[in-house]
Amino acid sequence: MNQSALNGIKACVFDAYGTLFDVHSAVAQHTHRMANASIVSMLWRTKQLEYTWLRTLMGRYVDFWQVTGDALDFALDTHGISDSQLRADLMQAYLGLSCYLEVPEVLNELKSKDIRCAILSNGSPDMLSAAVNHAGLEAYFDAVLSVDGIRIYKPDPRVYQQAVDALGVDASEIAFHSSNAWDAAGADAFGFRVIWVNRFDQKAERLGTSVAAEIKDLSSLTGLIFS
């Protein structure tokens, strides 16, 4: 990484699901109740993302809570699971996803250095509020931004513009963090300086975009921002 790639950052914006919060922790709470739990969880996540893209292309927006439920129904049906109580419990668990272990310390350090922080997510406002409060992170964010107000999903540029408008800084002064390679690509195309939190050892997307830095988790973030 070019050491100057992150000079002059005034705000840090974070994707929520997969970046701050472990999307597989919902199923992890109920692994004893289903066979192939990890495969179910992976399919749930895959369909959740696919449905956001498909609904955006079709112009048929519904909020992320419904998308999440529809994706879960597909995953359960695919694996022959018809337990309505399990379905309800998994959806409830999604409101209390675990945050990754390093997240509170990193956010606290950013706050101590007067870096403004925000979440920018596909999640509905109620979902994001529940996740942030469950993890005890509410004091760290200047804004928690949802696509729900504009009724379109990432990686549409109008989603990323919300962070610029809310924080009152230029896109080039924002470090955007996502574990999702496609989201990192969308944010770079918009004009953010992107830190790809590659938690899952993904390969880079072939979309003609790049990132300012790639890290395994957020624990090394402050070293990059303040070097």
Distance, CA of 24 to CA of 6 (rounded, Å): 31
Walk across the sheet containing 174-178 and list its strands: 143-146, 116-121, 11-14, 174-178, 193-197, 213-215
Residue type, 75: A
Which among 15, 148, 183, 188 is annotated as catalytic? 15
Active-site residue, 15 included: yes
- Which residues, in sequence order, are CB contacts of 76 under 8 Å at separation 6+? 40, 82, 83, 86, 87
Active site (catalytic) residues: 15
